[in-house]
Amino acid sequence: MNKNKFLNEFSELSPTLERFKTKVETLVQDLLENENIQYHVIESRTKTLSSFKSKLETKGEKYDNPLEEIIDLVGLRVILYYLEDVSKVRDLIEKEFKVIPEHSSDKIKNLKPNEFGYLSVHSVIKLDTKRAKLTEWKKYKNISAEIQIRTVLQHSWASISHILLYKKEADIPNVLKRKLNRLSGLLELADEQFQELKIEQELTLKKISESITNSEFEIDINSNSIKKFIENTKIESLIEHQLDLYKRFGHNYENEADDISQIITLTNTLGFKTINDLNECIENSVEFINQFFMNFYSEDEDDSTLGSIAHFLAVVLAGINIRDENKLEMDFWSVPYWREIKNTVNRIEKNVS
């Protein structure tokens, strides 16, 4: 085999491999987002010239054409949060690409109960016939890529065992084998527990949503119940109406965790125990809320105030808190922002008097 010839060809091919890597990574990312599959990170790389050269030197006699036969010139790793999503992504990859079965493996299916190792799916893919005909893809029709699919914990196990240089059970000294097998089992158990927690959270959210939809508000205040309260009651339309009415506010529906946390802090300060306490406060404060947004920042303010519906609910609760002379901790907004909320309450009280 003429190694120099293949090294030169690899160097010429490298820019194309880089573009293919980027396109496949973007496609996989879009596929996961379209299916609402949360992922921790998608990693990608192309084989370096030195790595390709090393492979030719150690295993070159195996190949007639290494540029076609080495299957991991392009590699992707999809790292997920939950076990159930590993099989979902595997099925998605099989649907969207042509998977080469002789080079692919599913250790989730194939690892024996008493075997050591991490559970991971490796799929070697090429473009399917339909995509390979598209103008923007056809130059990559003969290139393969390896896609690894695993959870965060599976990735932790793979990374640590790689550092320890133990790729197979036979590589492990007997004195360490039992401990490593125990650690492997603990990580698998933790993965299963995270999966169960996810299912329990979904059931909890469903129950909370059903309760709030049925106006059953005697439920504890927490991040889940606050989120569902905003989404499933008139509070969202009430706040949105006030924001639109005075045209000085930019708002969206992405209720961030920080916004929800601020609401919980403020409801605790107000002494609320249940969602019913919060709901009654809002129902009894509709006129105050209207007055608050009428006075919050002057009309000639250059910059509009931006935030989610949850953020503006928190701002209103801060105003109610000040109105009722409760103590407030200034730890999640700037001093000028707090000052403007206080000034707004003072303007309302002055107008009333």
Q: Topology of 3-189 in CATH?
A: Beta Polymerase; domain 2 (3.30.460)
- The predicted pLDDT at position 156 comes to 85
Where does the chain hold its CATH 3.30.460.10 domain(s)? 3-189
Q: Is the pLDDT of residue 116 over 50?
A: no
- The predicted pLDDT at position 109 comes to 61
Tens digit of each residue's pLDDT (9 = 90 or more) over 241-280: 888 888 778 776 676 788 999 999 999 988 999 999 999 9
Find the range with the poorest average confidence among 158-162, 241-245, 281-285, 314-318. Answer: 158-162
Structure tokens at 194: 């995270």
Burial class of residue 289 in the structure, from the number of CB atoms within 10 Å of its CB (0-12 exposed, 13-18 middle, 19+ buried):
buried
